[in-house]
Structure 1
Amino acid sequence: MTKPAFVTCDLLDDHPTTAIQVLTPSLDGRFFQSYGARKSFYGEIVTVKCFEDNSRVKEVLATDGQNKVLVVDGGASMRCALMGDMIAESALKHQWSGVIIYGCVRDVDALAELDLGVHALAAIPQKSNRQGIGELNVALRFGGVTFNPGHYIYADNNGILVSAEALLK
Structure 2
Amino acid sequence: MDENTQMYFENLNSEDKNIQYDAYTNIMEATNEQVDWAYDVWDQLKEDLTHPDHHRRSRAAQFLASLSKSDPSRIILEDFPAVWEVTKDPKFVTARHSLQAIWKVGLAGPKQKKMVVDHLVDRFRNCEDEKNYTLIRSDIIQGLRHLYDEVEDDEIEQKAMELVDTVEDSKYRKKYLGKWRKK
Same fold (TM over 0.5): no
Q: Which has the higher contact order (CA 8 A, sep 6+)?
A: 1
Q: Which structure has the bigger radius of gyration?
A: 2
Higher share in strand: 1
TM-score (norm 2): 0.27
Higher share in helix: 2
